[in-house]
Structure formats: C-alpha cells, structure tokens
Amino acid sequence: MQYQEGMLRDGALQGKTIIITGGGTGLGKSMATYFLKLGANVVICSRRIEVLETTAKELTELTGGNILPIACDVRKTEQIENVLTQAIEKFGKVDGLVNNSAGNFISPTERLSYKAVDVVVDIVLRGTYYFTLALGKYWIENKIKGNVLNISTTYAWTGSGWVVPSAMAKAGVLAMTKSLAFEWADHGIRLNAIAPGPFPTKGAWDRLFPEELAKKFSFENRIPLQRVGDHQELTNLAAYLISDFSAYMTGEVITLDGGEVLAAGQFNFLKDVSEEQWDDIEEQIKNANRSSKKSE
Ligand code: HXC
Ligand code: NAP
C-alpha cells in the first residue's frame, strides 16, 4: 500500500450528498474525484460555470458517479440558497459540506488596497460562514446530522506575513469550526478542519509561488519530510472526516504538512550542524560539565 492510493473501502460514502465549494479545480476537484469513487453524490460550485462543467464531464467519465455543477459566488447568500435548493431537488437531501473555496495571493500588506483585503476575507471567511449557516439551518430544521469540513491553513494559528488577509480569514474559520462544533453537537452536526501544507495546484502556485520565488526557495529544503503533499493524501483524510468513520470527532483541526509548521522549534537551526561539528560540540559541553564539577 502506498500513500498515493485511496484508503477507504469501496462504498464508504454511498448514499451521501456532499457539496464542495471550489470543486472545479485543485484540491476541491481532487476531493470530488475521490468522493465520487467512494459512491457519494457530489455538488461542485464556484464562480466559473464553464470550469465546473468541464470538471463535471471529466469526472463523470472517470468515475461514473453523480456530479452536479452549479455556479455560485460564496459571497452571495441567494446563490448559496440556490445551490442548496438544486442539490435537494436532484439528490433528495444534503449530508456534507466542504468549505474549500478561497482567494489568496502574496503581497506586502502595505501595498494592498482596502478592496484587496476585502476580496480575500470575503471569499474565505464570509463565504465559509454564509455556506455553513445555510446548511446548518437546513440540517437543524430537517433533523439531519450534517457534517462540515473546512479547508484551512497552518498559518491560521501561527500567523504569516505577506498573506495577512488570508491568515486573518482562515483564523476566523478555525474559531467558527470549534465554536459551532460545540454549539451544534446537540443536533448531531459535526465540524472539522484540515490544515494542509503545500499541495501543488495551479490556483495556489500562480498566486503564492510564482516562478521567480519557486526558483529561489525549494520545498525539499524547507519541509522536514522533504517533499510536497500528494493530493491523494489530502483526499484520504478529507474522505475520512466527511464520512461516518469519524463520527466521534468534532471541532478538530488536523495538520497535514510534512512537518512544515514545526520549523519554529527554537533549536531547529541545529539541522545544519555536521557530524564533525557535533563531535566538537559534545566535547565542549562535556568539558564544561567536568570543570563545573571540579569547582563545586
Ligand atoms: C496586490 C492585488 C493582487 C496582488 C489582486 N489584487 N491581486 N493586489 N497584489 N497580487 C487586488 C486588485 O488590485 C483589486 O484591488 C482586488 O485585489 C480585487 O482583485 P480582482 O482581480 O478584481 O478580484 P477577483 O477577480 O475577484 O479576484 C480575486 C482574487 C484572485 C482573490 C484576487 O486571486 C482569485 O480569483 N483567486 C481565486 C483562487 C485562489 O486565490 N486560489 C489560491 C488559494 S491557495 P483594487 O483596489 O486594485 O481594485 C490558499 C492557501 C495556500 O488559499 C497556502 C499554500 C501553502
Ligand atoms: P484553487 O484551485 O485556486 O481553488 C480555489 C477555488 O476557490 C477555485 O476553484 C475557485 O473557483 C474558488 N473560488 C474563488 N473565489 C470564489 C468565490 N467568490 N465563490 C466561490 N468559489 C470561489 O486552489 P487550491 O490550492 O486547490 O485551494 C483549495 C483550498 O485549499 C483553499 O481553501 C486553500 O486555502 C486551501 N489550501 C491550499 C493549499 C495548497 O498548497 N494548495 C495549502 C493550504 C490550504 P472560481 O474561480 O471558479 O470561483
């Protein structure tokens, strides 16, 4: 068995209908693919209907599953309600929501216009709480034990320069995940999140690691496990969290980043010390121990 392979058993999501925002591209498309393979009905939505339709056609041919593409800007509540209405009309009910849509780009914060901050925060934070609220009301009214998976980032809690609007918005999403996990547990509704490290996608790479930067900073050197993530690794975790196998888990945020977030460890700079240098260092420390014993 390899990490590039599907992990859950066939039919693990049979009978479930799951909405994936931003499901036409990148990680959203990969999750849609795996959920369909596991038997779910999948609704993908985002702004560009032509992208969604192309993805839907491709995934129908690949998996033979049921996929419904619907145009929706997650900042518009009437468009979110339309997605819900159409999903119920086609599939009878909705069981799960993956809040995966995002807007992001690197920039020194002082270069941003007010609108540039708004556009990122509105897609990531407002879009996520609008969609979650719409589904939550529907689930509570219809006594459905719904399940929400939010795609966050590790800098939601470490913070990060140069992506400040995204960091603020993703932090808000984490606060919502934990808060609602407690509040809606009475209704059997669960919320969890994944904080991914780098998983190559065109959307993220064009805006966060443009060629100029990619040449200078290699992931192999920065990530403790010395590679970027494989989409199947993330979709395996996502499928588990959106399935009933994770029924006892709520309010959790799982980091999947090859150890990238651990880089802050105070002594991690010692990574570059050679074996010979360690021989000298060990000797120096032992000498210091011996002389402090003598002077006692
Ligand atoms: C400074 C910028 C800018 C940049 C846009 N703006 N790009 N400012 N530097 N590089 C400003 C514009 O000038 C404008 O402000 C405002 O932002 C809105 O830009 P528009 O292009 O008009 O908006 P829109 O077409 O809606 O585009 C939204 C977007 C875009 C967020 C700016 O990037 C987008 O559509 N993104 C969707 C996909 C995406 O971002 N995927 C990456 C997700 S990866 P003014 O005032 O000039 O009008 C991720 C985590 C990755 O989230 C973590 C990696 C490890
Ligand atoms: P992506 O392919 O660019 O995905 C972003 C999606 O969001 C697109 O499909 C886009 O579709 C949609 N979107 C943007 N604005 C929207 C809006 N207003 N309404 C509805 N949908 C909108 O990038 P990705 O890398 O797969 O990112 C997916 C998720 O993973 C994001 O939440 C991101 O923050 C997170 N993430 C990614 C990485 C990584 O390394 N790739 C790391 C950490 C976290 P339209 O343009 O058609 O609207």
Which residue blocks in 163-274 are alpha helix, DSSP H? 164-183, 202-208, 211-216, 219-222, 231-242
**98, part of any domain:** yes
**10, part of any domain:** no
Q: Is 252 in the pocket of ligand 2 (CB under 6 A)?
A: no
Between the CA of 186 and the centroid of ligand 2 the distance, in Å, is 31
Q: Is 27 in the pocket of ligand 2 (CB under 6 A)?
A: yes
> Contact, 121 vs 168, CB < 8 A?
yes
Of 204, 196, 236, the closest CA to residue 30 belongs to 236
Active site residues: 155
**Residue in the structure block whose two tokens are 């599939």:** 91
* Domains: count for the chain: 1
> Contact, 73 vs 47, CB < 8 A?
yes
Return the percentage of the chain with pLDDT > 90, whole number: 92
**9, part of any domain:** no
Please write the tens of the pLDDT for every residue from 62-79: 999 999 999 999 999 999
Output the pTM of the full model. Answer: 0.97
pLDDT of residue 218: 80
Between the CA of 152 and the centroid of ligand 1 the distance, in Å, is 17
**158, part of any domain:** yes
HSE, CB side, 13 Å, CA atoms: give it for residue 3. Answer: 10
**246, part of any domain:** yes
Does residue 219 surpass a pLDDT of 80?
no
Domain that holds residue 253: 17-295
Phi and psi at residue 80, in whole multiples of 5°?
-65, -45
Confidence of residue 12 (pLDDT cuts 50, 70, 90): very high
**4, part of any domain:** no
| Ligand 1 site-directed mutation target among 21, 29, 110, 115, most atoms within 8 Å of CB | 115
**C-alpha span between 175 and 281 (Å, rounded):** 44
CATH number at 222 reads 3.40.50.720
Sign of the CA dihedral running 30, 238, 65, 28: negative
Q: Is 116 in the pocket of ligand 1 (CB under 6 A)?
A: yes
Q: Is 258 in the pocket of ligand 1 (CB under 6 A)?
A: no
**7, part of any domain:** no
How far is residue 48 CA from its own chain's centroid?
Answer: 21
**239, part of any domain:** yes
Average pLDDT over residues 46-51: 98
pLDDT of residue 43: 99
